[in-house]
Structure 1
Amino acid sequence: MQERLALIAGSGALVPEVIAAARSKGFELKLLTIGKRRDLSALEPVRFSLSRPQEAVEVIRNFGATRFTLAGGVSLSDVVREGLAGFFSGASVHHSIGDTSISDLVARLEDMTGAKPMGVHEIAPELLAPAGLIGGPELTPAQHDAAQYGLELAREAGRLDLGQAVVVAGRRAVAAEDIGGTDALLRRVRWLRWRRLVADGTSPLVLAKCPKPDQPLFVDLPAVGPRTVEMAAKAGVVAIAVEASGTLVIQRQRVAETANRLGVPVIGLAHG
Structure 2
Amino acid sequence: MTGVPQIRSPLGVIAGGGVLPFAVADSLSARGITPVLFALQGSCDPARVEAYRHHWLAMGAFGKLLRLLRAEGCQDLVFIGNLVRPSIAELRLDWGAIKVLPAVLAAYRGGDDHLLTGVGRLFEHYGFRLLGLKQVAPDLLMPEGALTRARPDDRAQADITKGRAVLAALSPFDIGQGCVVIDGHVVAVEDTGGTDSLLRRVAQLREERRLRTKPGRGVLVKAPKTGQDLRFDLPALGPTTIDGLIAAQLGGVAVVAGHTVVAEPQTMVASADRGGLFITGLAP
Q: TM-score, normalised by structure 1?
A: 0.90
Shifted more, 32-41 versus 1-10: the winner is 1-10
Indicate the residue corresponding to 1:215 in structure 2: 228
Shifted more, 30-39 versus 212-221: the winner is 30-39
Indicate the residue corresponding to 1:110 in structure 2: 123
Q: Does residue 1:77 correspond to 2:90, yes or no? A: no
**Closer/same/farther in 2, CA of residues 81 and 169 from structure 1, 3 Å limit:** farther
Q: Which runs of 4+ in 1 moved over 4 A?
A: 80-89, 91-96
How far is the alpha carbon of 1:33 from its aligned partner? 0.5
RMSD: 2.5
Gaps of 5+ in 1: none
How far is the alpha carbon of 1:81 from its aligned partner? 8.6
Matched residues in 2 for 1:78 and 1:191: separation? 29
**Closer/same/farther in 2, CA of residues 96 and 140 from structure 1, 3 Å limit:** same
| Matches for 1:35-74 after TM superposition, within 5 Å | 35=41, 36-74=45-83
Q: Does residue 1:90 correspond to 2:90, yes or no? A: no
| 2:216 and 2:250 in contact (8 A); partners too | no
Gaps of 5+ in 2: 1-6
Matched residues in 2 for 1:93 and 1:79: separation? 8
**Closer/same/farther in 2, CA of residues 215 and 78 from structure 1, 3 Å limit:** same
Matched residues in 2 for 1:154 and 1:252: separation? 25
Shifted more, 79-88 versus 110-119: the winner is 79-88
How far is the alpha carbon of 1:8 from its aligned partner? 0.6
How far is the alpha carbon of 1:26 from its aligned partner? 2.4
SS in 1 for 2:51: helix
Indicate the residue corresponding to 2:10 in structure 1: 4
Q: Does residue 1:119 correspond to 2:132, yes or no? A: yes
Matched residues in 1 for 2:36 and 2:189: separation? 36
Matched residues in 2 for 1:249 and 1:193: separation? 27
SS in 2 for 1:107: helix
Q: TM-score, normalised by structure 2?
A: 0.86
Shifted more, 254-263 versus 78-87: the winner is 78-87
| 1:169 and 1:199 in contact (8 A); partners too | no
**Closer/same/farther in 2, CA of residues 196 and 29 from structure 1, 3 Å limit:** same
Matched residues in 2 for 1:189 and 1:87: separation? 44
